[in-house]
């Protein structure tokens, strides 16, 4: 039987084989199934290797980047200095804590005559000096039930609402406190005290005297510290008057404009001043020329400590300072002032030179007008002229 012998191809002579393997031969082909079976057997025999997958490496990378980002997010940063907006400052990323410049300015030290002190303490002292508590203005108003009472009280209340606090409005009624007056006071928005005078007032002339004395007793009892001013409800007051009251140290006075009894001309009553010094008096009524001080009841104010601390002012009288009901009408003002001051040297002109009229006493109250209960008319007014 003839045999055919095949020569090896020269193409495979230069091929490199892994692990020192031989070229293609039947033995190599025969050994490959055994190797495959042994590989399968080895892989199936290692259970840990089967659980290891391609997800472990990405998981560790994700965890590392997450921790880096978390730490960067929790890192505190300051402010980027961009004060002037120039190109140099725009690229200046110097980090400063907040409010560095303000704290440096407050802590800046100033040297005066070789003595250094902090500007912060200086500013605090200036603020404390500028902030001075305002004096309490105590406004005393006697009132009684009449047709124009609601109008008068509301007019005074609207003025007092514009005055800078603190302001205390003491309203005194006779015999009993009326419901109508209480309602008005509650709606004004002004701090008030509603008092009642229990004195038996048989004369209309003495009514205002006793009501003012009730307010003075209240101020003395509670030792209210401020400037006392008698403001009747039928007068007209400027806002500047109440603002000027806080400048009074002991006793202040000013001229008051009023209508003459004939109601056909205006007269002036009050002090003549040289600066803040009282040097004379305005008066036009012959019957009142015998008075020591020519002042209207609404033309003066005084320090409340005169009532409950007389030793401070060296007041000559030991009895309480009150208005007198035993003197003639028109002399209540001068007899009261004589208990407060000795002469014009203890007085202050308000405003300086007494050159302005701050309130008016017009005496325009209507006479013989019926007083409706609760200021409400029960019957409707009938039309006298019908509209065609």
* DSSP symbol at 269: E
Q: Does a cis peptide bond (omega within 30 degrees of 0) precede residue 166?
A: yes
Q: Does a cis peptide bond (omega within 30 degrees of 0) precede residue 21?
A: no
Catalytic residue (choose from 180, 269, 333, 348)? 333
Q: What angle do CA 163, 168, 169 make, to 5 degrees?
A: 95
Computed on alpha carbons and rounded to an integer, the radius of gyration of the chain in Å comes to 50
The answer to whether residues 344 and 279 touch, using CB atoms and an 8 Å cutoff, is yes
Neighbours of 354 (CB within 10 A): 23
Residue 355, phi then psi, degrees to nearest 5: -95, 0
β-bridge partners, 383: none
Burial class (CB in 10 A: 0-12, 13-18, 19+), 256: buried
Residue 130 labelled as part of a binding site: no
Q: From the centroid of its chain, how far is CA 222?
A: 27
Task: Based on the residue annotation, tell me whether 329 is a catalytic residue of this protein.
Answer: no
Tell me the binding residues for Mn(2+): 234
Catalytic residues: 333
């Amino acid at each position: 039987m003839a045999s055919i012998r095949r020569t090896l191809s020269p193409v495979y002579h230069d091929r490199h084989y892994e692990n020192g393997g031989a070229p293609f031969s039947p033995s190599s082909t025969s050994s490959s199934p055994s190797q495959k079976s042994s590989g399968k057997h080895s892989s199936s025999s290692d259970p840990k290797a089967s659980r290891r997958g391609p997800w472990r490496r990405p998981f560790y990378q994700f965890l590392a980047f997450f921790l880096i980002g978390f730490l960067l997010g929790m890192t505190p940063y300051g402010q980027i200095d961009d004060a002037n907006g120039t190109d140099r400052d725009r690229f200046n990323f110097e980090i400063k804590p907040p409010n560095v410049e303000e704290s440096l300015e407050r802590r800046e030290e100033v040297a005066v005559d070789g003595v250094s002190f902090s500007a912060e303490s200086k500013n605090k002292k200036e603020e404390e000096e500028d902030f001075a508590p305002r004096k309490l203005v105590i406004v005393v108003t006697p009132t009684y039930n009449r047709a124009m009472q609601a109008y008068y009280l509301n007019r005074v209340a609207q003025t007092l609402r514009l005055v800078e606090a603190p302001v205390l409005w003491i309203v005194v009624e006779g015999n009993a406190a009326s419901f109508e007056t209480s309602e008005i006071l509650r709606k004004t928005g002004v701090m008030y005290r509603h008092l009642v005078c229990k004195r038996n007032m048989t004369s209309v002339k003495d009514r205002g005297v006793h009501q003012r004395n009730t307010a003075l007793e209240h101020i003395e009892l509670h030792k209210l510290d401020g400037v006392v001013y008698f403001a009747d409800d039928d007068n007209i007051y400027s806002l500047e008057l109440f603002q000027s009251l806080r400048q009074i140290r002991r006793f202040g006075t000013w001229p008051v404009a009023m209508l003459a009894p004939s109601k056909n001309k205006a007269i002036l009553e009050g002090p003549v001043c040289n600066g803040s010094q009282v040097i004379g008096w305005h008066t036009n009524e012959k019957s009142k020329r015998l008075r020591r001080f020519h002042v209207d009841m609404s033309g003066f104010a005084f320090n409340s400590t005169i009532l409950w601390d007389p030793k401070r002012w060296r007041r000559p009288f030991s009895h309480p300072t009150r208005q007198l009901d035993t003197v003639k009408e028109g002399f209540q003002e001068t007899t009261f002032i004589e208990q407060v001051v000795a002469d014009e040297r203890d007085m202050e002109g308000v405003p300086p030179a007494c050159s302005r009229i701050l309130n008016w006493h017009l005496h325009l109250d209507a006479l013989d007008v019926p007083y409706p209960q609760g200021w409400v008319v029960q019957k409707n007014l009938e039309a006298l002229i019908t509209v065609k």
